[in-house]
Amino acid sequence: MNTMMRVVLNIKRSDRISTEKLLKKCKMLSINQILCKTILLEVWKAFKFNVTSISGAFKKRENKRFNNLLQCSLDPKSIISVASKLWEKTSDRFKETNLITVAKKEAQSLAKKLPF
């Protein structure tokens, strides 16, 4: 991906431009940000379309104060745990919308805020 951006922008490695700056110039997300966006959208679809094989892995919290949050798995590196943490960072608009276009925009805006 770095090489592709350098070719598109006509920038040599010797120019010493960071990946972060390259991504901003190309208006692209990093691989990690793309992955986070994808995970969020898949979890959203699982909840909205009642895909029990996926949504069943997530447990809503019992406490009314935290009922929009999901309980994390015991293993902090599991996909369920990562998805739960990402879900907690999303806006209420993302969680409550029924429109995929709105969900995509909200996931994109969150992904842009995540580290590279």
Report which of residues 85 and 55 the model is more confident about: 85
Residue with the two structure tokens 């925009």: 105
Asked if residue 56 belongs to a domain, the reply is: yes
Judge whether 40 lies within some domain. Answer: yes
Judged against a pLDDT cut of 60, whether residue 59 lies above it is answered with: yes
How many CB atoms are located within 10 Å of the residue 112 CB? Answer: 13
Q: Is residue 6 part of a domain?
A: no
**What CA–CA distance (Å, rounded) separates 100 from 65?**
27
Looking at residues 14-34, what average pLDDT do you find?
Answer: 90
When divided into structural domains, the chain yields a total of 1
CA distance 108 to 63: 29
User: How does residue 8 score in pLDDT terms, banded at 50, 70 and 90?
Assistant: confident
Q: Is the pLDDT of residue 81 over 70?
A: yes
Q: With respect to residue 22, please indicate whether it lies within any of the assigned structural domains.
A: no
pTM, full prediction: 0.77
Assess whether pLDDT exceeds 60 at residue 60.
yes
Q: Is residue 77 a contact partner of residue 51, using CB atoms and an 8 Å limit?
A: no
Q: Which domain holds residue 42?
A: 29-113
**Which tokens hold the place of 54?**
């996926």
d(CA 6, CA 17): 9
The pLDDT value recorded for residue 61 is: 58
Whether 23 is in a domain gets the answer no
Would residue 13 count as lying in a domain? no
Within a domain: residue 92?
A: yes
Residue 82 lies in a domain: yes
